[in-house]
């Protein structure tokens, strides 16, 4: 279980992500995994965020597709641990570079 301060930080960050178009549950799961030291299992994510296993499954599927998290098997277990990809933010910016470039061109034309 996370401290109230960490919970406030993760929920605030997730709320901002949601305000710019990121899916709410994916944002919450990403931030929960991000603040963990060694990643989290699906059941740990569900317990930490007080959400259903189905919500965790959908959010982790999206985050895996976007290459923001990775799935690592837990040795001696049938469970997987989800961890943030080390260069996730770089990948996100590069993936959206065309969008940012277009916005810059449009802003320049409007100016």
Is beta strand 69-73 parallel, antiparallel or unpaired with respect to 40-41?
Answer: unpaired
The CA distance from 19 to 14, in Å, is 9
For residue 1, the model assigns a pLDDT of 54
| DSSP, res 74 | P
Question: Which tokens go with 91?
Answer: 């990948």
For residue 101, the model assigns a pLDDT of 74
| DSSP, res 90 | H
Compute φ and ψ for 79, nearest 5 degrees: -90, 160
Q: pLDDT tens string for the chain (111 positions)?
A: 568 888 888 899 899 888 888 899 999 999 999 999 899 999 999 999 999 999 999 999 999 998 899 999 999 999 999 999 988 777 666 666 666 677 777 888 876
Asked if 37 and 84 touch (Cβ cutoff 8 Å), the reply is no
């Amino acid at each position: 279980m996370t401290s109230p301060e960490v919970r406030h930080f993760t929920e605030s960050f997730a709320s901002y992500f949601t305000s710019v178009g990121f899916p709410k549950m994916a944002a919450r799961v990403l931030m929960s995994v991000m603040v963990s030291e060694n990643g989290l299992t699906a059941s740990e994510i569900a317990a930490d965020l007080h959400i259903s296993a189905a919500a965790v499954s959908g959010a982790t599927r999206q985050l895996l597709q976007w290459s923001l998290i990775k799935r690592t098997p837990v040795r001696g277990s049938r469970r997987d641990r989800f961890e943030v990809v080390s260069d996730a933010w770089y990948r996100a910016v590069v993936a959206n570079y065309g969008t940012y470039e277009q916005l810059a061109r449009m802003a320049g034309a409007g100016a």
